[in-house]
Amino acid sequence: MTTRLHIDWTRCDGHGSCVELLPDQLGVDDFGFPVPRSGQRDPVVPRRAEDAARHAVRNCPVMALRMYDAAS
Amino acid sequence: MSATLTSALWALGRGTGVVALVLFTSAIVLGILARSGRRVAGLGRFGISDLHRAAALTGAGLVVAHVGSLLFDPYAQLRLVDLALPFLASYRPLWLGLGTLTLDLLVVVTVVSLLRGRLGPRVFRVVHWATHVLWPIAVLHALGSGTDAGSTWFRTLAAVCVGSVIVAVGWRLVPSYGGRGWAREPRRSA
Amino acid sequence: MTTAPSALARRLLDGAGADHEAHVARYGALPGLRLDDLLAAVADSGLTGRGGGGFPAATKVRAVAQGARRPVVVANGIEGEPLSSKDAVLLNRNPHLVLDGLEVLARALHAKRAILAVGPEIEPGPVTDAARRRPVHLVALAGGFVAGQETALVNGLNGRAPLPRDPFTRVTESGVDDRPTLVLNVETLAQIALVARYGATWFRSAGLPDDPGTSLFTISGSVSRPGVIEAERGARLSDALAPARPVRPAAVLVGGYHGAWVPAPDLGARLTRAELAPYSASVGTGILHVLDTETCPLDLSADVMDYLARQSARQCGPCLNGLPRMASDLHRLAVGVRDPDLPNELERMAALVTGRGACAHPDGSARFVASTLRVFRGHVAAHLEGRCPSARSTRARSVAS
Q: Which of C155, C185, C205 is the last residue of a domain?
A: C205
Both C46 and C186 in a single domain?
Answer: yes
Residue B180 lies in a domain: no
Q: What is the DSSP string of C107-119?
A: HHTT-SEEEEEE-
Helices B3-35 and B152-173, packing angle to 10 deg: 20
In order, the DSSP letters of C135-146 are: S-EEEE----TT
C287/C309 same-domain check: no
For residue A53, the distance in angstroms to the closest alpha carbon of chain C comes to: 18
Same domain, C116 and C150: yes
- At C398 the pLDDT is 44
Q: Which pLDDT tens digit goes with each residue over C125-177? A: 899 999 998 999 999 998 889 999 999 999 999 999 999 999 999 999 999 99
Mutate to test the interface with C, among B122, B180, B184, B187 (most CBs of C within 10 A): B187
The tens digit of pLDDT for each residue in B124-155 reads 999 999 999 999 999 999 988 766 667 888 99
pLDDT-above-70 percentage for chain C: 95
Residue B7 above 60 pLDDT?
Answer: yes
Q: Is the pLDDT of residue C110 over 90?
A: yes
Strand partners of residue A35: A27
Structural domain boundaries, residue C308: 297-384
A 19-38 residues with CB < 8 A to B:
20-21, 31-32
**Whether the Cβ atoms of residue B78 and residue B71 lie closer than 8 Å to each other:** yes
Query: What's chain B look like in SS3?
Result: CCHHHHHHHHHHHHHHHHHHHHHHHHHHHHHHHHHCCCCCCCCHHHHHHHHHHHHHHHHHHHHHHHHHHHHHCHHHCCCCHHHHCCCCCCCCHHHHHHHHHHHHHHHHHHHHHHCHHHHHHHHHHHHHCCHHHHHHHHHHHHHHHCHHHHCHHHHHHHHHHHHHHHHHHHHHHCHHHCHHHCCCCCCCCC
Q: In this structure, how many other beta carbons lie within 10 angstroms of the beta carbon of residue B49?
A: 22
How many domains would you assign to chain B?
1
E runs forming strands in C141-293? 181-185, 207-208, 211-212, 214-221, 227-232, 249-254, 260-263, 287-292
Q: Is C12 domain-assigned?
A: no
Answer whether residue C401 shows pLDDT above 50.
Answer: no
Examine residue C175 and state whether it is found in any structural domain, yes or no: yes
| Domain interval for residue B30 | 3-174
* Residue A65 DSSP SS3: strand
Same domain, C259 and C320: no
Domains and CATH numbers, chain A: 2-70 (3.30.70.20)
Q: Does A63 contact B35 at a Cβ distance shorter than 8 Å?
A: no
pLDDT band of residue C122 (cuts 50, 70, 90) is low
Tell which residue, C192, C185, C182, has the closest CA to residue C66.
C182
Chain A residue with CA closest to C166: the answer is A8
What is the predicted pLDDT for the residue at C400? 38
Cβ(A25)–Cβ(A37) under 8 Å? yes
Cα of C109 to nearest chain A Cα, Å: 28
**Neighbouring residues of B110: CB distance < 8 A, sequence distance ≥ 6:** B56, B57, B60
Q: What is the C-alpha to C-alpha distance for residues C106 and B98, in angstroms, rounded to an integer? A: 59
CB B34 within 8 A of CB B45: yes
Q: What are the tens digits of pLDDT across the range C351-360?
A: 999 999 999 9
Please indicate if any CB of chain A lies within 8 Å of the CB of C328. Answer: no
pLDDT digits (tens, 9 = 90+) for C51-98: 998 889 999 999 999 988 999 999 999 999 999 999 999 999 999 999
Q: How far is B76 from chain A (nearest CA, A)?
A: 39
Q: Assign residue C341 the CATH number of its domain.
A: 1.20.1440.230
Q: What is the distance between the alpha carbons of residues B142 and B140, in angstroms, rounded to a whole number?
A: 5
Alpha-carbon gap: B145 to the closest alpha carbon of chain A (Å): 35
Do the Cβ atoms of B184 and C165 come within 8 Å?
A: no
C-contacting chains (≥3 CB pairs under 8 Å): A, B
One-letter amino acid of B60: A
List C181's β-bridge partners, or say none: C72
Q: What is the CATH number of the domain that holds C285?
A: 3.10.20.600
Q: Which one-letter amino acid corresponds to residue B76?
A: A
Chain A hits for C318, Cβ within 8 Å: 9, 29, 31, 33
| B interface residues, C as partner, C-beta within 8 Å | 184-185, 187-190
Contact C164 A32 (CB under 8 A): no
DSSP-derived letter for residue C339 is -
Across the interface, of A17, A59, A62, the residue whose CB is closest to B121 is A62
| Long-range Cβ pairs for the range A39-46 (8 Å, 24+) | A39/C355, A40/C355, A41/C355, A41/C356, A42/A4, A42/A5, A42/A6, A42/A7, A42/A68, A42/A70, A43/A4, A43/A5, A44/A2, A44/A3, A44/A4, A45/A3, A45/A4, A45/A5
| CA gap B28, B166 in Å, rounded | 10
Interface confidence, given as ipTM, is 0.96
Nearest by CB to C356, which of A9, A13, A32?
A9
Percent of chain B with pLDDT over 90: 58
The pLDDT assigned to B29 comes to 97
B186 is a domain residue: no
B49 to chain A, any CB pair closer than 8 A? The answer is yes
Asked if A31 lies within 8 A of C357 by C-beta distance, the reply is no
Does residue C9 lie within any of the structural domains? Answer: no
